[in-house]
Amino acid sequence: MAELIAAPQAPAQIAPPAEKSAGYWRSVWRRLRRDKVAMTAGTILVLIFLMSLFATFLAPSDPYARNVANRLAGIGTPGNPLGTDDLGRDMLSRLIWGGQLSLLMGVAPVFIAFFFGSALGIIAGYAGGLTNTLIMRTVDIFYAFPSVLLAVALSGALGAGLFNAMFSLTVVFIPPIARVSESVTTQLKSSDFIEAAKASGASALTILRVHVLGNVLGPIFVYSTSLIAVSMILAAGLSFLGLGVQPPFPEWGQMLNALRNAMYVQPLVTALPGVMIFLVSISFNLLSDGLRSAMEVRT
């Protein structure tokens, strides 16, 4: 039988192709950049992240330094531009420092849940059959709890604390991510190019790695980012209930709780920590909306 393809004459010929073409993510980024709302939200988030990261340099004073003589000072007090809390600590500094734990509590559980949830969902979707039934029916059980209730139940039973709260939030976000991952994967599994890959004799693992992951992780990730907004509100909510970060460490939800009794004295100062939670949450919502519509359009 004749050689199917003529032997390569000049193996060195494999030069990078002359015409470069934009990858999928680059075109998403191009569309996202034109979305003013999403870009503004993204900028705000970047600024808040940087602010928290560099709290040591940015905070004007020690967030733990109490000053009983200067309790509940109003906004615009000299030395305390955003006033002081019930123990006389500088609000501006505590808000800046508070970003660290608030963002950690709000964002990290979603990322951890993204890891576990997508793994579960992709395995369930790709394997199908009994594996799918076992995984998805278990997921359904956790889905049968409203998210706030599940978070409160778990951290209530485990006891207050940053780690327990983050663990509870992770458990809350695994089921929805697993569900989305499963449906995206199941849908993709029946597409022709997966069949074609099977027809070329590739193993299930190779197909998963080369053809499935690249196509499902994007949509799952975007869905997960839309959960960060909820997670921020829930995380701060747990701290607000006293289940998350414990005093004296600054965290926005916990600060809001501590200042609750001061609303008759300094209503504006009381509202400040909530403004931060709101700002981060709405920015994540707008950014993930923008990301979704930037990904939807197929050129």
CB of 102 closer than 8 Å to CB of 235: yes
Does 233 help bind another protein (rule: CB under 8 A)?
A: yes
Does 45 help bind another protein (rule: CB under 8 A)?
A: no
Does 145 help bind another protein (rule: CB under 8 A)?
A: yes
Does 1 help bind another protein (rule: CB under 8 A)?
A: yes
Give rounded-to-5 percent helix, strand, coil for the chain. 75, 0, 25
> Which one among 39, 87, 112, 202 touches another protein, defined by CB under 8 A?
202
CA 173 to chain centroid, in Å, comes to: 10
- Diameter of the chain measured on Cα atoms: 97
Q: How far is the CB of 57 from another protein (least distance, A)?
A: 28
What distance in Å separates the CA atoms of residue 87 and residue 83, rounded to the nearest whole number? Answer: 11
What distance in Å separates the CA atoms of residue 172 and residue 181, rounded to the nearest whole number? Answer: 15
In terms of CB distance, is 60 or 260 closer to another protein? 260
Does 296 help bind another protein (rule: CB under 8 A)?
A: no
Does 149 help bind another protein (rule: CB under 8 A)?
A: yes
CB of 41 closer than 8 Å to CB of 280: no
Q: How far is the CB of 110 from another protein (least distance, A)?
A: 15
Within residues 166-195, the interface with another protein by CB under 8 A covers 191-193, 195
> Which range, of 53-61, 74-82, 87-95, 208-216, touches another protein by CB under 8 A?
208-216
> Which one among 18, 68, 130, 205 touches another protein, defined by CB under 8 A?
18
Q: Which amino acid is at 50?
A: L
